[in-house]
Structure 1
Amino acid sequence: MANGIIADRNRVLTAVVDESGWSTAAPASNAQVLPLKLTARSTVAGTDGSPTVLRGYFDARYPITYAGLFKTNLKQSGRYRLRLFSDAAFSDVLFDTRDAVTGVDRRVMPSLYDWRQLRYAAPNLLRGDLPPEDYALYPSNVHVVVPLVRAASFQWDIVGSGFDPATGDDVDFNEVGYAWASDSVQFEINYAYGGNDGWNPTDEIKRTPGGGVYVEPGVGYRSSEIPLDYITKLDGDSLFDLSKRVSWNQPVVWLPNVDSAQDLFRYGFIGQRRDSFKKTWKTYQLDGATIQIEEITT
């Protein structure tokens, strides 16, 4: 069993964002729109004393159970803090990711590996995150699952230099491709009935006369087929409504297991629905369904 969520209706789209500290050529408002490659870029990288701040207020108070940052250039060792407020003045805090006991902010990359998977003297030995050469293979996304609050504004504080995915070199600015805050449909997934999280290369294999073979590289994407064989009728109805809202063209966020930061990084993504949504009537109180989602990569 695992507790998954699908989020839609991103409230950041219509928020009024603060442009302070962001480049005029790549303003903070870029993080409100797709495509992901149209990034917002800070003027300098965030530090402990002066973090990069992405904040805005909504046109009303909205229920929020999920927030995220997509297609960032944050390093694994970077840290972030998210706060949600009940007012547009960013003063009355409803939710804060900062550890209330230690005062430490969350790392961009959680520890992904069991100690038995790590190699002596490897660069990721102490933190347990990805080997540096593998990190650029994943989009540097940040996922935050929020206990239900009705928020009027949000603020992200980002600390740490950025990196160039092409070279791995440090850069003195932070980038965010897309920011998200919304409610979500949360449900229990029974993986005993199947389901898959996949990686789909789009490379094209070319064959030439005489038996030669070469490959045209493509941009791969993650996908998920989510089995919902036995969910409550209430969840089934909510997913039916969501499917009508987003159709195949609107973005959603898929998180497979809200209790595992490791699963959220590897298998969670922003994407779009694929295939038809069909709800199966199981009993008076239980429904079944299958949802397919493909990752948005650009």
Structure 2
Amino acid sequence: MALGRFTDENLALTATLGGGTWSPSLPLSNLQDQSRFISKPARQLFPTDPTKARIEAGLARDRTINLVGVMFHTLGLEAEYRLTLAGPGGSLAAPLQVGDWTPVHGRMFPSQNLPWEEPNWWLGSGRPEDLVLYPRHLWIVLKPGVTVSAVRIEFRDPEAAAFDIGGLWICGAWSPQFNFDHGRELGLDPRSLADETPSGRVIHEDRTSRRRLTVSWSMLEASEALRLFDAGARVGTKSPVILLPDVDDPVALIREAFPATFEKPPAPRRGRKFETLVSATFKEIIA
């Protein structure tokens, strides 16, 4: 199990965004508005052409990053992406690193959890009806981190007429020396409404449930606990944060990693060295 990665600072918000050709009415600049991920996305009208279906983000200064997130996207099962990085002081015209074309949607189920006759048995990929269970987020993890000046993400989706991207996250996610405790809790907060008619019939209004992830760190050094305390001071209970519990487990990551807000800011309980305790509950952002 990899150390959990936490981030509360999104470098994409201060980056210069460009590249490709995006809808004039839903432009690329919408990715820097974190108030409306779904209702105000960036829309790509040329999903099969990577020269148009691309995002280029020039960072405000050279930064070391280890995570790129493409959030609230509508890319289909056959979609692929490619990541290109410009080195310190460099440019995307002469990149430091060019990745391979990679499926946007990875394994969603262990093969042993699927009937043998299912067409997705070998790859464990989701079906179209599985993709609607949760908002779609693409987490591109860099191991180790890379110092860059700019990032390019290209897409190609052969089956789509268009696709949306609701948010972009670029960061150097943080991990403590010791991981959070075993026993993290993943749950759903139901939001559907029910009303009963005089005759006794129950009428339901379906609403998307909100995920909730609760973790506790009990082996933190004091400075690590203060790092989480500072995050609470910076974002409060309004601005997004992200916790990736285990980047080595892509099946769990689909269900456990999402843009969220703190239920309440982390409150460290100071102890001896590596005995400081912090608990946090992450409430999913769904719109």
Q: Under a length normalisation based on structure 2, what TM-score does the superposition of the two structures give?
A: 0.89
Uncovered stretches (5+) of structure 1, i.e. residues with no partner: 99-103, 162-169
TM-aligned CA deviation for residue 46 of structure 1: 2.8
TM-aligned CA deviation for residue 19 of structure 1: 4.8
Q: Where does residue 231 of structure 2 map in the other structure?
A: 242
Instruction: Name the CA distance, whole Å, in 2 between partners of 1:2 and 1:235.
Output: 18
**Is contact 1:123-1:132 (8 Å) kept?**
no
Instruction: Write the letter of the residue equivalent to 1:3.
Output: L
Displacement over 4 Å in runs of 4+: none
Quick check: 1:30 aligned with 2:30? yes
Instruction: Name the CA distance, whole Å, in 1 between partners of 2:188 and 2:61.
Output: 38
Instruction: Name the CA distance, whole Å, in 2 between partners of 1:212 and 1:42.
Output: 44
Instruction: Write the letter of the residue equivalent to 1:39.
Output: P
Instruction: Name the CA distance, whole Å, in 2 between partners of 1:289 and 1:129.
Output: 35
Instruction: Write the letter of the residue equivalent to 2:201.
Output: G
Q: Where does residue 149 of structure 1 map in the other structure?
A: 146
Q: Where does residue 198 of structure 1 map in the other structure?
A: 187
TM-aligned CA deviation for residue 215 of structure 1: 1.9
Instruction: Name the CA distance, whole Å, in 1 between partners of 2:96 and 2:230.
Output: 28
1:180-212 Cα deviation digits (max 9, x unpaired) = 1012221343443x3301122201222344543
Uncovered stretches (5+) of structure 2, i.e. residues with no partner: none
Q: Where does residue 46 of structure 2 map in the other structure?
A: 44
Instruction: Write the letter of the residue equivalent to 1:262.
Output: V
Structure with bigger strand share is 1
TM-aligned CA deviation for residue 271 of structure 1: 1.1
TM-aligned CA deviation for residue 294 of structure 1: 0.8
Instruction: Write the letter of the residue equivalent to 2:67.
Output: Y
Question: In structure 2, do the counterparts of structure 1 residues 27 and 276 end up closer, same or farther at CA, with 3 Å as the change threshold?
Answer: closer
**Is contact 1:22-1:42 (8 Å) kept?**
yes
Query: Which of 122-131 and 260-269 deviates more?
Result: 122-131
Instruction: Name the CA distance, whole Å, in 2 between partners of 1:46 and 1:221.
Output: 33
1:199-258 Cα deviation digits (max 9, x unpaired) = 222012223445432222222111111111222333212111111111111111121112
Q: Following superposition of structure 1 onto structure 2, how do residues 182-193 of structure 1 map, counting pairs within 5 Å?
A: 182-187=171-176, 188-192=178-182
Q: Under a length normalisation based on structure 1, what TM-score does the superposition of the two structures give?
A: 0.86
Q: Which residue, 112, 119, 127 being the options, matches 1:131?
A: 127
Q: Where does residue 7 of structure 1 map in the other structure?
A: 7
Instruction: Name the CA distance, whole Å, in 1 between partners of 2:160 and 2:73.
Output: 12
TM-aligned CA deviation for residue 92 of structure 1: 4.9
Q: Where does residue 256 of structure 2 map in the other structure?
A: 267
Instruction: Name the CA distance, whole Å, in 1 between partners of 2:97 and 2:214.
Output: 32
TM-aligned CA deviation for residue 16 of structure 1: 1.4
Instruction: Name the CA distance, whole Å, in 1 between partners of 2:214 and 2:267.
Output: 13
TM-aligned CA deviation for residue 24 of structure 1: 1.1
Instruction: Name the CA distance, whole Å, in 2 between partners of 1:240 and 1:88.
Output: 35
**Is contact 2:237-2:265 (8 Å) kept?**
no
Aligned residue pair count: 282
**Is contact 1:80-1:158 (8 Å) kept?**
yes
Instruction: Name the CA distance, whole Å, in 1 between partners of 2:281 and 2:32.
Output: 25
Instruction: Name the CA distance, whole Å, in 2 between partners of 1:153 and 1:227.
Output: 35
- Alignment identity in percent? 23
Instruction: Name the CA distance, whole Å, in 2 between partners of 1:72 and 1:117.
Output: 26
Quick check: 1:89 aligned with 2:91? yes
TM-aligned CA deviation for residue 292 of structure 1: 0.9
| 3-state SS of 2:229 partner | helix
Question: In structure 2, do the counterparts of structure 1 residues 113 and 20 end up closer, same or farther at CA, with 3 Å as the change threshold?
Answer: closer
Quick check: 1:287 aligned with 2:276? yes
Instruction: Write the letter of the residue equivalent to 1:40.
Output: A
| 3-state SS of 2:253 partner | helix
Instruction: Name the CA distance, whole Å, in 1 between partners of 2:25 and 2:180.
Output: 47
1:120-169 Cα deviation digits (max 9, x unpaired) = 332323321112211122222100222223321110011214xxxxxxxx
Aligned-residue RMSD, C-alpha: 2.2
Question: In structure 2, do the counterparts of structure 1 residues 279 and 156 end up closer, same or farther at CA, with 3 Å as the change threshold?
Answer: same
TM-aligned CA deviation for residue 95 of structure 1: 4.8
Instruction: Write the letter of the residue equivalent to 2:281.
Output: Q
| 3-state SS of 1:278 partner | coil
